[in-house]
Amino acid sequence: MQGRLRIAIVGYGAAGQASALFLSAQGHVLSVFEQAAEPGPVGTGFLLQPTGLGVLARLGLHEQALASASTCKL
């Protein structure tokens, strides 16, 4: 590793959380910024953007997440 970096993560969704885990494991110093005052449900469901799905795939959890998901058609 080249050295410890000071890194800011903006947004603490699935990709932000995974980034924080990966970067802190490498010894970097993190500051995380999230607009929500505390974690909680947003809207009526949970949507993973492509970055979040990519993180799940890298962690080997993509298929498990999809198998656990359900869809609802109105």
pLDDT, tens digit, 9 for 90 and up, residues 24-36: 999 999 999 988 8
Structure confidence at residue 43 (pLDDT): 59
pLDDT of residue 29: 95
Three-state DSSP class for 7? strand
pLDDT tens figures, 50-62: 887 888 888 888 8
Q: Global pTM?
A: 0.57
56, 65 contact by CB (below 8 A):
yes
Give the separation between CA 49 and CA 3, rounded to whole angstroms.
Answer: 31
| Cα angle value 23/13/40 (rounded, 5°) | 130
9: pLDDT strictly greater than 70: yes
